[in-house]
Amino acid sequence: MIDNNGGMASVAISSYDISSANTELARRAGYVDAQWALPAINAVELRRLQRRSNLHATLSTSLWLGLTVIAGFAVVATAWSWWSIPSVAVYAALYGGASDSRWHEMGHGTAFRSRRANDVIYYLACFMLLRGPTIWRWSHYRHHTDTIIKGHDAEIAFQRPPSIARTLWRFTHLQGGSELLLRLVRHAGGRLDDEAKELVPAHERRRVVLESRIMIGVLLIAVIATVVLRSAIPVVLIGGSTFLGGWLVVFFGITQHAGLQENVFDHRLNTRTVMMNPVFRFLYLNMNFHVEHHMFPSVPYYSLPSLHGEISSQLAPALPSTWAAYRQIIGAFRRQQVDPNYEIPLELPKIEGDARPVEIGAESWMRGPSGEVIVGLETSFGLGELRKVDIGRHSVVVGRTESGSLFACEGWCTHAKVHLGEGAVIGEEIECPKHNARFDCRTGEATRKPAKDGLTTYPVTVSKGRVSVHLVGIDSVGS
Ligand code: FES
């Protein structure tokens, strides 16, 4: 169990740089792949919240893309009258600002049921933000594994000691956008920076180069069009609006973690949930429920308000408005300018660090006459249900796909030590609750990153209404 401070003895990692040296320091300090506090939640309710809806994601994505296209036409139609100022402002906010939350949700693969639909919008949003798709996937995996661990999490956007002037400057996105562009150019030239080498596994690095070349190629076409047409419109519409709309990324992004605690293992201490109005929530895709998202990344954005309702009594009180969040952040920044170790104090309700939403365990199985493991009545397995079943030293997950097939596979994700019994069934696949890797329930094949290796699967039979798992290849399961 982890106490509510969730931290360990402080270890000096002096910089925020992502390097192998800092990774080693963080690892030795026990900051890497730690067990994080989780609130209790009813397993049936969690399954309901994990459900994916192509309809919801299609409507929301169509609205965002539709508004972006309309605003783009307005930019062309009004160029360059006074009306072009609001046209460009709206287009840029949608293109270079609201794309951030789409990048995020599609990167998790949770918005659409369709993996391909998530990927298509993910690549589009990456281009709009000038983010290399593969690097940022790996960066975000780590952000979720080791959130706000100094020198290890590559997405600590507001670092200490903070500077009000530097923070205001960031809203222009001139520096941030330029750095992203230069990074793409460098990677397109085949030279990966140290952070990319640290984050991206060797077998994916060529992909980083290829993606960068494609993105730079499209940007160059926009530049050539601008020169040929003698009009700034192509570069404003493609690429330029990443800079012009980047302020919105900062506007929402600062509310996520700024001013909160570092090197702790409790998202309630390093992450903020802020109540926002419907327009902000559309632009930001409900990421204002950020604590909830970090605790349960398998819950899609449209179910985060309901998840908040389920677990809010176990969290710190949500900030009542965006303004309240900014007041808290500015106050923390002022204190941290004087004392960089200052952290916003929070009173938290006690929760069990190893609380898990799904727990069946060793008591819930019986040995059958032929050595099979009987795990329950067939009628007790609902569609999309998963059960963690511990059998001696082994832990398996038994479940039913959405089409009704029963399956059993090894319980632990092959990417890291996370149990799949807490994950979600999406169609015929099982999704890891931590970084949303997916596996084919029938074959165990890894079908979505970051998992590379597949799972061992076990035959399942039904006899006299009872579900049995045959642990082939496991000589002694103990009991
Ligand atoms: S632990 Fe990372 S995808 Fe499963």
The residue whose CA has the least distance to atom 1 of ligand 1 is 416
So what's the pLDDT on residue 365? 78
* Among 143, 414, 418, 426, residue to substitute to test ligand 1 (most atoms within 8 Å of Cβ): 418
**pLDDT tens by residue, 377-405:** 899 899 999 998 888 788 999 999 999 99
So what's the pLDDT on residue 355? 41
Question: CA–CA separation, 182 vs 180, rounded Å?
Answer: 6
So what's the pLDDT on residue 352? 59
**ipTM exceeds 0.95:** yes
Q: Is 413 close to ligand 1, i.e. is its CB under 6 Å away? A: yes
Q: Is 108 close to ligand 1, i.e. is its CB under 6 Å away? A: no
CA of 438 to the centre of ligand 1 (A): 9
So what's the pLDDT on residue 4? 42
Question: CA–CA separation, 307 vs 52, rounded Å?
Answer: 14
Q: Spell out, as residue ranges, where the chain has pLDDT lower than 70.
A: 1-11, 352-363, 474-479
> What are the extents of the domains in the chain?
20-338, 362-469
CA of 219 to the centre of ligand 1 (A): 34
Q: Is 424 close to ligand 1, i.e. is its CB under 6 Å away? A: no
So what's the pLDDT on residue 43? 85
Pick the CATH number of 362-469 from 3.30.470.20, 1.10.3720.10, 2.40.50.140, 2.102.10.10: 2.102.10.10
**Torsion from C-alpha of 264, 266, 269, 274, nearest 10 degrees:** 140
Q: Is 144 close to ligand 1, i.e. is its CB under 6 Å away? A: no
Q: Is 420 close to ligand 1, i.e. is its CB under 6 Å away? A: no
Q: Is 432 close to ligand 1, i.e. is its CB under 6 Å away? A: yes
Q: Is 140 close to ligand 1, i.e. is its CB under 6 Å away? A: no
